[in-house]
Structure 1
């Protein structure tokens, strides 16, 4: 401490900083237990394509395997897994398969056979026999992930020649890793079992999921030898202090009820308080059948959480976004489009978290520690420091009350209108009633004094957005100032760490005999002076909120720029500045 920012910086130094994930993992994920076969996968993918509905990842649950044997495929329904992945990747999509820690006890199963011969399993309470528990495959044994030797062996299983049918566009979901044992006490492992060092399970239970997650992430890195230069994506259900270094977490099996949508934000905020930031809840609820309104409101809320995945139980009705009728598909698609437009902002906030340790989804008190009236709030939150989000979590609700900290001014992020001015009171809060019919989505506000980057060209996946230009949304504070960052790298590899192939634009605006917006980027060694990279990251538009004077002229390097100004809304739009976020520049507004 004493501030939240210093607290999380100290905690990150102790337990590790959050990993910067690959960009695709911040897009929308479509999952179900289970997509039945390859034609089912292709049909779902094709429908997303037909509707221009953006998504990045299609998931396969346990039924894709050969009898719940992980690292295998049921060839009767997935006869060509490699070709399936490559086809989806050719259109910018990845896939994820589930791999759990319980190993089917089958002498013909190569993973079990090798684990047994090498002595890699957790032992019974006497330390003599391999533990035999019950999980999805039936009789199962459990690898001892507290052992370096076991973790290294596990990582090797992800090699493409061992995990046959896998490709570089396939990533991993670790479930049941508490570990779950159906016939065990508390549906987990007996506390008197022993690891390979003879230590009882009660001493390392909380570490098991963390070490399994770590091992899997290491395997996804190791499979791309010799460079080992592709960032992994692994979703885990179990976690512990330090999990933030390895991947994403979700809240487990929820229910398609309004009460579970209402509980999602408090649960995710609790995880973020614990410095586990890359988190989400199953959109729509895992068990049961959401109606169209619940599914839509959940999609709208999920679009403003760090991990954004729709998922469903195999007994639930199909609930892909087009299953509820055209009018509802349009609403859900609009929510997904909001998410994709904001991907540059999300990626920047994830980068900031990887540097500072600050949570991504923040309770109000994290950002406003002197506003006591906000301390107990768990139904609205901040994404980074600049967006305030208020999910709608009840049926038939078309308005909401939002509490806005008075130390800042605020703008409606969708209408761009100023809704509150600052009083400068760090402890003050003002109440605002806002209309939020389902067609408009949920209330979202941009903090005055911030710059939020977006990409506004609709694409079907994040991979197809790489070359797209940015639009900068500048929300002026009451003194006409703003500041913000935009982080960029190749979105896939570790080159940002290893070579300095990255850059952070730093925008500032203020009044100095007129208004000016400046960029003074901080570039890594590999991108300093790189004109090709600079040319790929251009600004096509600047939208400035809170401009209360009519501009006379806007210039960049003595050249006049096109602009439009709406005096009623006080919004200024500067068009086609043709500047890069990786080069220095200054736009000047003469009144």
Structure 2
């Protein structure tokens, strides 16, 4: 069987991810150290004032009262509901961290309720199991027991309902405790039926399931967003995953590529790592290169440890800020491409961020290649992963490849490169080497500051000569209406016929499509007559591209262009 066959079968067994809300694919800003309401407001104002696209601001453990879960520090965050409402008015979602450790405190309602309901993990002799976490001595919900999961889901539902929170970040859920070393813990789960040795690896999964249930109970038509640190087979059905506490080192940037590709091959497609590095001080060049790579991660979040230097996109001056803004903006333009890949993942289990061997399994040079990747079948991404470089080696597998520069100043068209071959690609600090496969069809949207502002009807298809296809999927990006058939799919097929390039569009399923404009941007073609359904149609030349306006209306249409000067 092929790799796609294996993932299809494996995720058929363990489950496939649910389609995420569109906003979750945007840029997320986080830091352990946004310790006050003023800090959060300042970050939100900087994002919007500097025109850095973003969809979420995250709250680390600073917001809690003495690190008690499901509480607010009423001194540092005196008006949380108003704060979150103000963020929402600026189209920024609030995502709060929630750890499993519940402070042992009889006067704390979460602990008192959990203890009264017998919802905590116990020792083998029946005593409540405690360990030291952020709030000090803590109890741990027995997520393997249905009643405890139901209780936790209820707390989640109340938490969301009280404050309008957009997503939840579940951390420390291996579970972690700072005072436990040595032999495996004498803890019993599932009401005492399951020893910790049998429960440990699935604890994070069960916490994610309980959290998901609570979020869905709060809004049954929503697509809950959860980010977890610990996971297990099947977690992809309810949560995204990040790589944990990395460091601000070039080696950790480089390691992120095989880490995320291997997670994708393990059935976990919605993944990312902390851009800029969590631990230690970062610097401008590293942040620029990491943001360039992170713009193509399935999950895109900048995050840092308290006490480290600031590494928001604007922290290192105008040059680095401009690079970060440009690549975060490119991510927003590529969101229809990403969203289509997420839809495919929800249907087949295919990863978003793919090793080259996924598409080129007969090429032994792809087997251990881990410093570049494919974003879907058509884009090859080659991040710069070491300091001081202005060029890097890139392997281009069999076929024709085109250097694509969607950011920065347009330059002279570079000739196509025939693979398989190694090349040296120029990569000044402001640019990440990016290549489009011959026959690529890449959907893009106009640049916007957040997903709610995107003119989603204004679709541009960037097309390179060759043979290819795109099944373009669209829905409301927010609700579960797509599960009731409220979506639209449009098929695009690109073929070379002698000296003519033919693009055929046809309806692909879902709701009947009304008239919808699409802009076709053909790259690397000479100027020449263009026909639509065999009749001449107006086009314009923009640098090296041919631009054609088309109205899709649910019927089959054919666009043809010359591939040679006529």
- The answer, yes or no, to whether TM exceeds 0.5 is yes
List runs of 5+ in structure 2 lacking aligned partners: 406-410
Aligned with 2:157: secondary structure? coil
**What is the rounded CA distance, in whole Å, between the counterparts of 1:121 and 1:109 in structure 2?**
15
Provide Cα deviations, 1:41-100, integer angstroms capped at 9, x if missing partner: 111111111111101110000110111111111111111111211211122211100001
CA contact (8 A) 1:71 1:164 kept: no
Structure 1 residue 60 corresponds to structure 2 residue 53: no
Pick one of 515, 538, 545 that aligns with 1:561.
538
Pick one of 131, 134, 152 that aligns with 1:133.
131
Residues 29-428 of structure 1 correspond to what in structure 2 (within 5 A)?
Answer: 29-126=28-125, 128-160=126-158, 165-167=162-164, 169-185=165-181, 190=185, 192-224=187-219, 228-406=220-398, 408-414=399-405, 417-421=414-418
Partner of 1:463: 452
Partner of 1:425: none
Structure 1 residue 437 corresponds to structure 2 residue 409: no
Structure 1 residue 528 corresponds to structure 2 residue 525: no
CA contact (8 A) 1:555 1:589 kept: no
**What is the rounded CA distance, in whole Å, between the counterparts of 1:201 and 1:367 in structure 2?**
41
* Pair 557,86 (structure 1): closer, same or farther in 2 beyond 3 Å: farther
**What is the rounded CA distance, in whole Å, between the counterparts of 1:29 and 1:581 in structure 2?**
36
Pick one of 441, 452, 462 that aligns with 2:442.
452
**What is the rounded CA distance, in whole Å, between the counterparts of 1:86 and 1:558 in structure 2?**
53
**What is the rounded CA distance, in whole Å, between the counterparts of 1:444 and 1:370 in structure 2?**
23
**What is the rounded CA distance, in whole Å, between the counterparts of 2:247 and 2:195 in structure 1?**
35
Provide Cα deviations, 1:283-336, integer angstroms capped at 9, x if missing partner: 011111111101111111111111110001111122211111111111111111
* Pair 401,163 (structure 1): closer, same or farther in 2 beyond 3 Å: closer
Structure 1 residue 490 corresponds to structure 2 residue 490: no
**What is the rounded CA distance, in whole Å, between the counterparts of 1:195 and 1:354 in structure 2?**
30
Aligned with 1:544: secondary structure? strand
Aligned with 1:19: secondary structure? coil
Aligned with 1:409: secondary structure? strand
Aligned with 1:382: secondary structure? strand
Shifted more, 132-141 versus 506-515: the winner is: 506-515
- Give how far 1:194 is off: 4.3
**What is the rounded CA distance, in whole Å, between the counterparts of 2:535 and 2:423 in structure 1?**
43
Runs of 4+ deviating beyond 6 Å? none
CA contact (8 A) 1:382 1:389 kept: yes
Provide Cα deviations, 1:130-174, integer angstroms capped at 9, x if missing partner: 1111101101000111111111111111224x556421x521000
Provide Cα deviations, 1:448-505, integer angstroms capped at 9, x if missing partner: 12211011x321111211545111011222xxx33112211110111111x1111222
Partner of 1:545: 523
* Pair 163,382 (structure 1): closer, same or farther in 2 beyond 3 Å: closer
- Give how far 1:101 is off: 0.8
- Give how far 1:413 is off: 2.2
- Give how far 1:356 is off: 1.1
Structure 1 residue 518 corresponds to structure 2 residue 504: yes
* Pair 304,195 (structure 1): closer, same or farther in 2 beyond 3 Å: same
**What is the rounded CA distance, in whole Å, between the counterparts of 1:86 and 1:189 in structure 2?**
44
Aligned with 2:193: secondary structure? coil
**What is the rounded CA distance, in whole Å, between the counterparts of 2:295 and 2:171 in structure 1?**
23
- Give how far 1:558 is off: 4.3
**What is the rounded CA distance, in whole Å, between the counterparts of 2:208 and 2:184 in structure 1?**
18
Aligned with 2:167: secondary structure? strand
- Give how far 1:260 is off: 1.1
* Pair 417,248 (structure 1): closer, same or farther in 2 beyond 3 Å: farther
**What is the rounded CA distance, in whole Å, between the counterparts of 2:193 and 2:530 in structure 1?**
76
Aligned with 2:62: secondary structure? helix
Provide Cα deviations, 1:388-438, integer angstroms capped at 9, x if missing partner: 1111111111101111111x211112167453236xxxxxx3111110001
* Pair 82,89 (structure 1): closer, same or farther in 2 beyond 3 Å: same
Aligned with 1:519: secondary structure? strand
**What is the rounded CA distance, in whole Å, between the counterparts of 1:462 and 1:367 in structure 2?**
30
Shifted more, 340-349 versus 75-84: the winner is: 75-84
* Pair 43,557 (structure 1): closer, same or farther in 2 beyond 3 Å: farther
CA contact (8 A) 1:342 1:454 kept: yes
**What is the rounded CA distance, in whole Å, between the counterparts of 1:117 and 1:466 in structure 2?**
51
* Pair 73,475 (structure 1): closer, same or farther in 2 beyond 3 Å: same
Aligned with 1:159: secondary structure? helix
CA contact (8 A) 1:450 1:474 kept: yes
Aligned with 2:194: secondary structure? coil
CA contact (8 A) 1:517 1:587 kept: yes
CA contact (8 A) 2:172 2:229 kept: yes
Aligned with 1:517: secondary structure? strand
CA contact (8 A) 1:451 1:485 kept: no
CA contact (8 A) 1:21 1:247 kept: no
Aligned with 2:275: secondary structure? coil
Q: TM-score, normalised by structure 1?
A: 0.90
* Pair 177,290 (structure 1): closer, same or farther in 2 beyond 3 Å: same
Aligned with 2:416: secondary structure? strand
Partner of 2:408: none
Q: TM-score, normalised by structure 2?
A: 0.94
